[in-house]
Amino acid sequence: KVTLILGLLNNRVPIRLMNELLLAAAEDDAVPPVLVSRLASQLKNRTLNDLRSQQFSQLIHVLRAKKDKNQSKYVNALVSSPLKEELWKPPFESKFVWRDKKKNVVATQT
């Protein structure tokens, strides 16, 4: 299902048809995390010179596909546990140390 949807996203498909396909695919609980992770992995190492706007618009299109106004299985998959650690930046670990003129440690960042 995921490879077929990715193939359709690369081609010109009417928006309403694509939304219906995305909603039908979201019925299977295994599809949203895999689809979001594949789309987000295309955006890895994106810079200002290399915007990858087509891949970004595909991800936004998938995230906007929802049946109800407040619920989207794709957004929930993006911020839920398995993808949260994989896609988002690693949590900040403070390593800054303040020293005085004699190089003694005055404080550390926590």
Q: CA-CA distance, 44 to 70, in Å (whole number)?
A: 28
| pLDDT at 50 > cutoff 90 | no
Taking residues 17-36, report their average pLDDT: 92
- Provide the whole-model pTM: 0.71
Tell me the CA distances in angstroms from 5 to 23, 34, 42, one per residue in order.
11, 11, 15
Per-residue tokens: 68: 């109800």
